[in-house]
Chains A and B, each alone.
Chain A
Amino acid sequence: EVQLVESGGGLVQPGGSLRLSCAASGFTFSDHYMDWVRQAPGKGLEWVGRCRNKANTYTTEYAASVKGRFTISRDDSKNSLYLQMNSLKTEDTAVYYCARVTVVSGSYHFGDWGQGTLVTVSS
């Protein structure tokens, strides 16, 4: 069974930093692209960014709203995905989900999601 478990959320002041982790199990983590998606309270889903697999040299993509402030990385030896968030703003307040990208017939969709971790940016 695929499991994705996020951790590291909490309350942080504007301008602060936080590092989220996503522990994966039940599949070959190193084979998969992994993404972060967030959801502000009462709002819709917003894609944050992607980390490709080793075969694609761990390259990353980011949403414009977080580019230059957030960094996605992974440690395949620990089956873990990370999101380093710097220069946090109040508008970064959201539940952050990690998601596994499933590839079927050329389709790169989100096959599995974690339960999410809440990040609150407030003074």
Chain B
Amino acid sequence: DIQLTQSPSTLSASVGDRVTITCRASQSISSWLAWYQQKPGKAPNLLIYKASSLESGVPSRFSGSGSETEFTLTISSLQPDDFATYYCQQYKSYPLTFGGGTKVEIK
């Protein structure tokens, strides 16, 4: 199975900060990686697919980069609506797997 390790697990930041979350895969997954945002009590919401493609309707302050085993999700200027938990997910091979999540908290 492909393991995804996210870091940090928790991040404290202020509105306007630039935030970067890292996702490392235990083996190469090419660019078959997605990022999701989840707020408490809600379903996850797709932000980025194929490592760097922005989902339609998602604000341009979100961006993704990376390939093979190392990936990042960047929020260029953190907004109040962005305080949430973020998950990476690989779809290179079965079983599909998710990272452990990164909770972005208000500093």
A binds B: yes
Give me the interface of A with B, judged by CB distance under 8 Å.
35, 44-47, 50, 61-64, 97, 102, 104-116
Q: Is the CB of B49 within 8 A of A116?
A: no
B90-101 interface code vs A (CB 8 A; 1 in, 0 out): 010011111111
Chain B: interface residue count, which band?
20 to 34
Complex CA distance for A115 and B96, rounded to whole angstroms: 20
Complex CA distance for A112 and B49, rounded to whole angstroms: 13
Complex CA distance for A113 and B53, rounded to whole angstroms: 19
Sort A-B residue pairs by CB-CB distance and give the 5 closest, nearest first. A113-B43, A47-B96, A109-B49, A107-B50, A109-B34
Interface of chain A, main secondary structure:
strand
Q: With A47-B96, A104-B49 as known contacts, state yes or no: A114 contacts B43, CB within 8 Å.
A: yes
Complex CA distance for A114 and B45, rounded to whole angstroms: 10
Q: Which residues of A contact B91 (CB under 8 A)?
A: 107-109
